[in-house]
Each structure stands twice: as C-alpha cells, then as structure tokens.
Amino acid sequence: MTAQKTIYWIATGLLSTLFLYSAFMYLTDTAVIEGYYQDFQYPTYLVIPMALAKVLAIIFILLRKPKWVMEWAYAGLFFDMALASFAHYSINDPAITLPLVGIILLLTSYFFGKIVRA
C-alpha cells in the first residue's frame, strides 16, 4: 500500500468516524442538539434530516459510486463544516476546532482520493 493510499484511508476513516458520531448524537440526543441549534438561531426541524444526510454522505463517500453523488457528498459535508465553523465563531464558541479539523480531514480525503483513484 502506498503512502498516499494510507493517508487517504486514514483521513477517510477519521472523517467517517467524526460524521457518524455526529449523526449518532443528532439521533440519540436530539433535545440537546436542538438546544445548540437554537443557540445558533438555526431551525430545530433540521436536526434529524442533517443526521440522515451525514450518514448518507459517508455511505456514498465510502462506496465511491456513483461518482457524481460522491462529489456532492463531499461538497455537502464541506458546506456543513464551513457553516458550523462560522456558527461557532459567531458566538465565540471554543468548540470551533472540531469543524476546522473536519474540514482538514475532508480536504485530505478528497484530494488524496483523487490521487489514489487516478
């Protein structure tokens, strides 16, 4: 296994773990997550659809088929992390580091995935 492939799978594995844990928390501790959404002034009805979208995105990223859906999955997760970063920043929340780590993992997975699949 090449170093690039190893980096891709480590980043993708950590990214998958991060988003599956997030989705798990959204589904099992919905009231707390809704409270966070209210702090960020987001509509609380988005909690469950966001959890399902995260799970589906990770499934399509791991399956890598169809390619256009995988690209949209990466884009959706990027927008999720970018908006989460801005939301945490806007209320001076110290938890901003987690979305930033997510963005780094996402970009690493995406770009190394392109190299590995080329």
Q: How far apart are CA 8 and CA 108, in angstroms?
A: 7
Residue 84, pLDDT score = 92
Q: What is the pLDDT of residue 47?
A: 96
pLDDT of residue 112: 96
Q: Please state, in angstroms and rounded to a whole number, the distance separating the CA atoms of residues 102 and 81.
A: 7
d(CA 57, CA 73) in angstroms, rounded, equals: 5
Mean pLDDT per 10-residue section of the chain, whose length is 118 residues: 94 97 96 92 95 97 94 97 92 89 97 91
Domain tally, the chain: 1
Q: Would you give the DSSP letter of residue 46?
A: G
Pair of tokens at residue 17: 């773990």
What pLDDT, on a 0 to 100 scale, did the predictor assign at position 95? 85
| Parent domain of 33 | 3-117
CB 73 within 8 A of CB 57: yes
